[in-house]
Structure 1
Amino acid sequence: MAEVKKNPHDSLDKLLRKFKRKLKEEGNIEHYRSKEHYEKPSEARKRREAEARRRGMARQRDEW
């Protein structure tokens, strides 16, 4: 679990931003969002293939 230390001059908003940044760096949010609903293995494979296609198309677009 991410932990943020409070400095005397930190506001609540600043602490929340630090906490959210730390969660994002650790990958906790993405992990729990992906586990929120069951995903069949075939659906997971299709999603991974679609992501790979998008990355490939972006790479080609950047090379041109």
Structure 2
Amino acid sequence: MRVEVRDNNVDQALRVLKKKLQREGVYREMKLRTHFEKPSEKRAREHAAAVSRARKADRKRAERDR
């Protein structure tokens, strides 16, 4: 990943870098890899995320159909 520093403005470049890392999911993955997660916990987390995505898709579909 590459970020350009313009006019020696390192603070702005750092903000851009952090935003890019967050969009890529690096922070989330670091948090998940910090501690061991049991396979059952991983399945439960992934299932909850899938349910959340499905509900969001249903809400958007219902809103679009109005």
Which bracket does the TM-score occupy, shorter chain normalised? Answer: 0.7 to 0.9
Deviations 1:14-62 (A, max 9, x none): 1211321343355432221111111100000000000000100111111
| Aligned positions of 1:18-57 closer than 5 A | 18-57=16-55
Unaligned runs of 5+ in 1: none
TM-score by length of 2: 0.71
Equivalent pairs, count = 62
TM-score by length of 1: 0.73
The CA distance in 1 between the partners of 2:8 and 2:47, in whole Å, is 44
Identity rate, percent: 34
Higher share in helix:
2
Unaligned runs of 5+ in 2: none
CA RMSD of aligned residues (A): 1.9
The CA distance in 2 between the partners of 1:50 and 1:61, in whole Å, is 17
